[in-house]
Structure 1
Amino acid sequence: MKKLAVSLKKIRLNNSFHELADDFGIDRTDLSKIFLKNVPIIASVMRPFIVTLNEEIIERTLPIAFRHRFNKVTCIIDCLEIEVQKPSKVLNEALTYSENKKAHTIKYLISCTPDGLINYISSGYGGRTTDTSIVETSDFSKCLLPNMTVMADRGFKYVDVYLQKMGVLLVRPASVESAAKLSKAKTKENKQIDSLRIHVERVIGRLREFNMLKPHACLNPCLVEVLDDIVTIACALINIQDSLDK
């Protein structure tokens, strides 16, 4: 139980191993080994709490805001970026540098149901990778079935072609082209989509409550090797909390 408590406290509060060693009476060097060894084990136990998309259940629990115009939406996607220390290898340095964040990051694709349950989390990608590339190269498509609808933001501009091949519809705000102006109807639709995407943003907000997953956590390279498992644990813990949609 002590090993479990140490690992979960590190993920939640991101205390230094020196502080944790004092709190739990464990040698500091042993503590880091315990953490790196036990996080994958905890993740394997928690992974079943990442839900599977079930259209019948989604339809039954669909929030009222979706029911009029977007009642076919089965999941909402977005990306989570976590800052890490500058890698020592030049290739890793180039792959992890995010122009958007102006820092070295690891990026994850997250998908949640309209009522806020996480149904998918990708493996980590270097911050340089585009949102569209992650959708296309990850195994996210295995979650989807024909006639499903995915909601996303403008950053997933070219994903619709990829999803259409599987018979899946992408709903996202329309982009404003240069020298063009959106109609009133399109502007209204954009605002509706943005207001509904708040559900996945709230999920990401909950993930940010884990100090190891804060935007500027700047994780040590030795912790990056288990970051996929850390994110999985955090997602599973969120799913067993109170629902986002009251």
Structure 2
Amino acid sequence: MYISSSEDSPNQSPSLFGTSNFDSSSSAQQDTEKSVREHMLKIIRKKPKLFLGLPKSFWWIINFLAQDCRCVALHVIITLFKLKNNDSFARMSEQFEMARSTIRLAFEKNVATLSTYFQNCIYLPPLAHIKKNLPLAFKIRYFNVQCIIDCFEIQIEKARDPDKQAGTWSQYKSCNTMKYLIGCTPAGYIAFLSKGYGGRTSDKAITEKSNFIDVIPLNAVVMADRGFKEIESLLSVKNAKLLRPPSVYANKKMTKQEVLETKVIASLRVHVERVIRRVREFHMLKPHAVVNSKHIKYLDDLVIIACGLINLQNPIIKDC
């Protein structure tokens, strides 16, 4: 068994459960034993993407927010940690050695501030930039596609109000949800995000109520799945084209060309699904996270923060 001597460095790494130094000297213990919070921040600082969703090269953003937005750096970390891991405030109280009420207030106070900042990371790039970063699979036939859209849902607690229950009920998910329209470039950059709507709202209604039509430029080409076939009339205002798989009819067999086109579009549309999978890496935004009723009012801001962080991460498509 290894027993440390007085010659060992006083800065040796501590164990999570205490020090590994068996020296009975109190001064040695004070040098080697660190608080749980210090240890927690150390491992977060080492792997911020794993614990916060923030790439290591963008760690400076935490200090920037602390200075520019007058936030406490530790509170910014706590907010991102809650979004990424969805730990309870009780567990976080132990992890960060802070009162549970302080943890909760830090989270609730900083969500809107962080959302305002990360909203700037979500925008539709110019067409020239989109084409410059176009994945190889798009370059042959679908080089004009500027945006791929889809909707995703997040389960929430069942509301007590019957009207809210009905409005958030999702027939597709068989539970109460908030539903978001998301759009990304062919390279996987999140270019659009709507606010949340009740799970009962149709894809067409969300597209119409959100400002998506205002965001896309004239003559844009938008790719989507069959569920968005009714938005063609909305896109016509901008003379935009909807690119989607051919419709399927009960008494009509698809031609070989239609089958091939369906497969190709499906293989390209998967890029937006990969983006949504990244959103799901934030545990508060998992499909069946069952967001607490007290936190539903923060959900729009949390989705914006997650999408902003995703745009700072490595590209979804590597062959751009």
Counterpart in the other structure of 2:255: 183
- Shift of the alpha carbon at 1:35? 1.0
Instruction: Report how far residue 211 of structure 1 moved.
Output: 0.3
Matches within 5 A, 1:10-159: 10-159=82-231
Gaps in structure 1 of 5+ consecutive residues: none
How far apart are 1:164 and its partner, in Å?
1.4
1:57-84 residue CA offsets vs partner (Å, 9 max, x unmatched)? 1111111101111111000000110000
One-letter code aligned to 2:195: S
Structure 2 counterpart of 1:71, which letter? F
Note the alpha carbon deviations across 1:105-136, whole angstroms, 9 max, x for none: 00000000000000111000000001111001
| Cα deviation code 1:119-155 (max 9, x no counterpart) | 1110000000011110011111121111110000111
Give the distance between the partners of 1:59 and 1:67, measured in 2 at CA.
Answer: 9
Residue identity matched to 1:3: H
- What is the correspondence of 1:147-226 to structure 2 with a 5 Å cutoff? 147-226=219-298
Letter in 1 for 2:280: R
| Runs of 5+ unmatched residues, structure 2 | 1-72
Preserved contact between residue 213 and residue 234 of structure 2 (Cα < 8 Å)? no
Of 46-55 and 112-121, the range deviating more from structure 2: 46-55
- For 1:201, the aligned partner's letter is E
State the distance in 2 between where 1:40 and 1:210 align.
Answer: 17
CA distance in 1, matches of 2:298, 2:114: 11
Q: Distance in 1 between matches of 2:135 and 2:219?
A: 20
Report % sequence identity.
43
Q: Which amino acid aligns with 1:122?
A: S
Q: Tell me the SS of whatever aligns to 2:310.
A: helix
Which secondary structure state, in structure 1, belongs to the residue aligned with residue 294 of structure 2? helix
CA deviation profile, 1:138-185 (whole Å, cap 9, x unmatched): 111121111110000111120111111220100011111120011111
Amino acid of the structure 2 residue aligned with 1:234: A
CA contact (8 A) 1:132 1:156 kept: yes
| Contact persistence 1:53–1:143 (CA under 8 A) | no
Corresponding residue SS for 2:180: strand
- Asked whether the 8 Å contact 1:76–1:111 carries over to 2, the reply is yes
Look up the equivalent residue of 2:209 and give its one-letter code. Answer: T
How far has the Cα of 1:45 moved from its partner?
1.3
2:300 to 218, 228, 233: 228
Q: Secondary structure at the match of 1:77?
A: strand
Task: For 1:28 and 1:91, locate their aligned partners in 2 and report how far apart those are by CA, in whole Å.
Answer: 33
Matched residue type, 1:119: A
Q: Which has the higher contact order (CA 8 A, sep 6+)?
A: 1
Aligned counterparts of 1:165 and 1:221: Cα–Cα separation in 2:
38
Q: What is the alpha-carbon distance in structure 1 between the residues aligned to residue 217 and residue 315 of structure 2?
A: 25
Are the equivalent residues in 1 in contact too, given 2:192–2:212 (CA < 8 A)? yes
> Is the radius of gyration larger for structure 1 or structure 2?
2
Distance in 1 of aligned mates of 2:205 and 2:243:
18
Residues 25-76 of structure 1 show CA distances to partners (whole Å, capped at 9, x for unaligned) of: 2221232222111111011111111132310111111111011111110000
In structure 2, how many angstroms separate the alpha carbons of the residues matched to 1:30 and 1:94? 35
After superposition, the CA RMSD in angstroms is 0.9
The one-letter code sitting in structure 1 at the alignment partner of 2:279 is L
